Amino acid sequence: MLKGTAVSAGVAQGTAYVLSCGYRAAVPQRSIRPSEIDGERMRLDSAVARAEAELSALQDDLREKIGATQADIFGAQRLILGDASLRDRVLHTVQEKRINVEAAVSEVFEDYTQNLETAADGYLRGRAADIRDVGRRLLSSLATGPSSARAEIPAGAIVVADELLPSVTARLQLDNVRAFVTVRGNKFSHSSILARSLGTPAVAGVPSALAQIKTGDRLIVDAVAGVVFVNPESSIEREYDRLAADLKSSKEQLRHLVDLSTVTLDGTTLPLLANVNKFSDTEAALLNKADGIGLYRTEFTFSIRSTFPTEDDQFEYLERAAERMHPRKMVFRLVDLGGDKILPYFPLPPSRNPSLAERGIRLLLRHVDLLKTQLRAFLRVSAGHPVSILLPVVVGIEDVRQVRVVVRQVQDELSAEGKRFDAAVPIGAMIEVPSAALMIRNLAKEVDFLSLGTNDLVQYVLAADREDETTAPYYQPLHPAVLRLIESVVEGARSAGRELTICGEMAGDPLHTALLLGLGLRELSVAPGQMLEVKDAIRQTRLDEARRLASVALELGSAAEVEALLNQNRPARSGHPASVGPAATRP
Ligand code: PEP
Ligand code: MG
């Protein structure tokens, strides 16, 4: 994984196309005789005229394709090119040093850009790219004459370059470019502005991009987190496929719902939160106007590395995510390792039944350094943002009590080091093991909030491995046994006055929405790509009808019957008013 700065937000996968811009390629320098000086001046003037014609054509082209503001980039370059003092300095250098005009151009532009590149002001540093671009164009004009040829970029390419000079960017077949990765450049560079206006993801400031990437490599560009994966493993590709789908779905037919509130037909407004796996998912969460992050799974940070992430590694991404989401709440879950989540650098003893072996909080309590490192990162983020800490795979009150002891130790250590944190950071438990669900009243007293993880709850209640395709027919989220357990968890949380969120995948299916609300759930956390569909379903639900629907479902004998009931009451898609209310309410 290569790190850089995200300068144009988005995520893309594709094939690397390494572009050589030619700038800083050695410029031939030769001594000239006094009689050659006039000839060099003429060469300079005609090269400037050619470059000016190219820039003007590019400006027109861009104005037509993208807009006047972006085309002004080349207007600014034309001004640099036409600057009389620049021409004077070049000619003066030719005369004084008796060198050819190319060498003089190279020297003068190098001098200008170096001064700007060391400027403290990021905006001025961004301008250095423009001046360098003009210099490069002038050199290419001196060397080869007109250079307006379009660079042939294969479809689906991710362009990798030292720096994306505006003239190069504009000459690319932009339709074929999925993303940009550059060694240099910053947020203020014109090429970054251009990338943003094109909506093309871009990561700049990746020092080793040219050393590590070659044409043909598979790349994932995460231009939200500012990282690039080179020839990633398929699990990482799948993760990004999902994010791409989330981002895409947010743009499509349900877009009109984004700005509408999440309110039931009878006027109850509900929080709709997002589940995220990594920093860049916050982009999709924000696009869909999530009220917060109900579940931040932290496993991804561990699985993309070859060693455990340090406290600072973890802090860096979480802090950035929290800044992005501020002031919305964020629930950070302690890493849930074990079960199917195995790290190559952290082998666990083989188990015949990994889901029932060491995983979640019990594993962390056996590896307290791992737990402490993550708690330190979480707590440091809590200093400035509304962070809560969620414990995975809690079985009972002992798990919570033991973690609280470690939290206090970590807080004491941070205090001794003068590091800030929220002393009252809420600590919550995932309810995803039947024992925790059945002991909800006891557990609720030990924690500040609860989160219902139906993905695991379903597998443990129905003895059906969630990862195994042979048990798939038995893995039934709508089984009445699961629904009864959910109902009692809701009741236990309510009587203890604890907030309860549902964050399992079950909450993301709009078919289930009325049922879940009818069971008493009032806070849903779903994948960003599911938010609008769920919001749509909530907006078509009346709570009293939902309660009646749930009470009918709870009396049914099988998942198939519940599913049939829900299908009869399936909400119409947005824009098409529901033709009938839930069957349970019909006479
Ligand atoms: C769950 O089990 O429902 C849950 C949200 O956690 P995960 O899917 O990460 O196990
Ligand atoms: Mg789980």
* Confidence at residue 151, expressed as pLDDT on a 0 to 100 scale: 52
DSSP lists the bridge partners of residue 158 as 16, 179
DSSP class of residue 425 equals -
Residue pair 344/306 in contact (Cβ under 8 Å)? The answer is yes
DSSP lists the bridge partners of residue 359 as 338
Residue ranges of the alpha helices (H) in 82-158? 84-97, 101-117, 122-144
Find which of 34-38, 46-50, 268-272 is predicted with most confidence, using mean pLDDT.
268-272
Query: DSSP letters of 39-81?
Result: HHHHHHHHHHHHHHHHHHHHHHHHHHHT-HHHHHHHHHHHHHH
Cα 500 to averaged position of ligand 1 atoms, centre (Å): 15
What's the one-letter identity of residue 62? L
Same domain, 363 and 423: yes
547 in any annotated domain:
yes
pLDDT confidence of 584, banded at 50, 70, 90? very low
Residue % of the chain over a pLDDT of 70: 91
Interatomic CA distance for residues 490 and 501, integer angstroms: 9
Residue ranges of the alpha helices (H) in 98-121? 101-117
Residue % of the chain over a pLDDT of 90: 54
pTM: 0.69
* Confidence at residue 436, expressed as pLDDT on a 0 to 100 scale: 98
Same domain, 78 and 184: no
578 in any annotated domain:
no
Lowest mean pLDDT among 59-63, 123-127, 342-346, 512-516: 123-127
Atom of ligand 1 nearest to the CA of 454: 3
Which tops the pLDDT comparison, 105 or 443? Answer: 443
Interatomic CA distance for residues 499 and 393, integer angstroms: 18
Residue nearest (by alpha carbon) to ligand 1 atom 1: 453
Find which of 220-224, 302-306, 495-499 is predicted with most confidence, using mean pLDDT.
495-499
Both structure tokens of 317: 């991404």
Residue pair 377/315 in contact (Cβ under 8 Å)? The answer is yes
Distance spanning both ends of the chain, measured CA to CA: 61
80 in any annotated domain:
yes
pLDDT digits (tens, 9 = 90+) for 87-112: 999 999 999 999 888 888 888 888 88
Kindly state the average pLDDT of the residues 26-48: 83
Same domain, 261 and 405: yes
248 in any annotated domain:
yes
CA angle 19, 23, 29 (to 5 degrees): 140
DSSP lists the bridge partners of residue 104 as none
Which tops the pLDDT comparison, 63 or 376? Answer: 376
Atom of ligand 1 nearest to the CA of 455: 3
CATH of residue 361's domain is 3.20.20.60
Distances in Å between the alpha carbon of 123 and those of 193, 198, 237, 282, 390?
12, 20, 35, 27, 41
Where is the domain boundary, 231, 252, 273? 252
CB atoms within 10 A of CB 317: 23
In this structure, the dihedral spanned by the alpha carbons of residues 430, 431, 434 and 439, taken in order and rounded to 10 degrees, is 110
307 in any annotated domain:
yes
Kindly state the average pLDDT of the residues 494-503: 98
What's the one-letter identity of residue 451? S
CATH of residue 214's domain is 3.50.30.10
pLDDT digits (tens, 9 = 90+) for 337-356: 988 777 878 888 888 888 99
* Confidence at residue 574, expressed as pLDDT on a 0 to 100 scale: 60
Residue pair 452/436 in contact (Cβ under 8 Å)? The answer is no
Interatomic CA distance for residues 268 and 521, integer angstroms: 12
Residue pair 363/371 in contact (Cβ under 8 Å)? The answer is no
Both structure tokens of 90: 């070049």
Cα 329 to averaged position of ligand 1 atoms, centre (Å): 19
Lowest mean pLDDT among 8-17, 312-321, 325-334, 465-474: 465-474
Report strand pairing: 11-19 vs 218-222. antiparallel
Instruction: Look at residues 439, 547, 561, 533 and name the one whose alpha carbon lies nearest to residue 249.
Output: 533
Kindly state the average pLDDT of the residues 153-182: 79
Atom of ligand 1 nearest to the CA of 505: 3
Both structure tokens of 227: 């990282």
Distances in Å between the alpha carbon of 519 and those of 214, 482, 490, 512?
55, 11, 7, 11
pLDDT confidence of 28, banded at 50, 70, 90? low
pLDDT digits (tens, 9 = 90+) for 249-268: 766 778 899 999 999 999 99
Q: Which residue out of 331, 503, 523 has the highest number of ligand 1 atoms within 8 Å of its CB and is therefore the one to mutate?
A: 503
Report whether residue 504 contacts ligand 1, using a CB cutoff of 6 Å: yes
Find which of 207-216, 247-256, 298-307, 483-492 is predicted with most confidence, using mean pLDDT.
483-492
Residue written as token pair 């600057």? 83
Same domain, 116 and 179: no
User: Would you call 21 a catalytic residue per the annotation?
Assistant: no
Same domain, 200 and 289: no
User: Would you call 190 a catalytic residue per the annotation?
Assistant: yes
Atom of ligand 1 nearest to the CA of 299: 9
Residue pair 478/549 in contact (Cβ under 8 Å)? The answer is no
Which tops the pLDDT comparison, 487 or 343? Answer: 487
> Is the sign of the CA dihedral 535, 536, 537, 539 positive or negative?
positive
Which tops the pLDDT comparison, 174 or 441? Answer: 441
What's the one-letter identity of residue 145? G
Which tops the pLDDT comparison, 379 or 175? Answer: 379
* Confidence at residue 11, expressed as pLDDT on a 0 to 100 scale: 92
Find which of 34-38, 40-44, 335-339, 361-365 is predicted with most confidence, using mean pLDDT.
361-365
Distances in Å between the alpha carbon of 321 and those of 364, 378, 469?
24, 12, 35
Identify the nearest ligand to the CA of 504 by its number: 1
Report whether residue 133 contacts ligand 1, using a CB cutoff of 6 Å: no
- pLDDT of 25 strictly over 80: no
* Confidence at residue 170, expressed as pLDDT on a 0 to 100 scale: 61
Report whether residue 454 contacts ligand 1, using a CB cutoff of 6 Å: yes
Report whether residue 526 contacts ligand 1, using a CB cutoff of 6 Å: no
Lowest mean pLDDT among 42-56, 433-447, 536-550: 42-56
67 half-sphere exposure, CB direction, 13 A CA radius: 7
pLDDT confidence of 462, banded at 50, 70, 90? very high
* Confidence at residue 583, expressed as pLDDT on a 0 to 100 scale: 37
Print the domain residue range for 80.
31-144
Cα 455 to averaged position of ligand 1 atoms, centre (Å): 5
Identify the nearest ligand to the CA of 298 by its number: 1
Where is the domain boundary, 221, 252, 283? 252
460 in any annotated domain:
yes
Instruction: Look at residues 173, 210, 170, 185 and name the one whose alpha carbon lies nearest to residue 132.
Output: 185
Same domain, 171 and 218: yes
105, with CB counted inside 10 A (0-12, 13-18, 19+), is buried
Same domain, 166 and 187: yes
- Ion ligand 2 contact residues with beta carbon within 5 A: 432, 453, 456
Same domain, 187 and 294: no
Same domain, 259 and 318: yes
Residue written as token pair 């989160």? 451
Same domain, 178 and 267: no
Cα 442 to averaged position of ligand 2 atoms, centre (Å): 20
The mean predicted confidence, pLDDT, of the chain is: 88
Lowest mean pLDDT among 122-131, 211-220, 367-376, 546-555: 122-131
Distances in Å between the alpha carbon of 366 and those of 363, 378, 389?
5, 19, 19
Element housing 389 (H / E): strand 387-391
Where is the domain boundary, 202, 221, 252? 252
- pLDDT of 165 strictly over 80: no
579 in any annotated domain:
no
User: Which listed residue (190, 385, 479, 512) is catalytic?
Assistant: 190
* Confidence at residue 127, expressed as pLDDT on a 0 to 100 scale: 79
585 in any annotated domain:
no
Kindly state the average pLDDT of the residues 266-273: 98
Same domain, 132 and 163: no
* Confidence at residue 146, expressed as pLDDT on a 0 to 100 scale: 41
Q: Report the number of distinct structural domains present in the chain.
A: 3
Instruction: Look at residues 412, 336, 339, 395 and name the one whose alpha carbon lies nearest to residue 370.
Output: 336
Cα 153 to averaged position of ligand 2 atoms, centre (Å): 44
Report strand pairing: 499-502 vs 449-452. parallel
* Confidence at residue 168, expressed as pLDDT on a 0 to 100 scale: 63
Same domain, 358 and 315: yes
Report whether residue 355 contacts ligand 1, using a CB cutoff of 6 Å: no
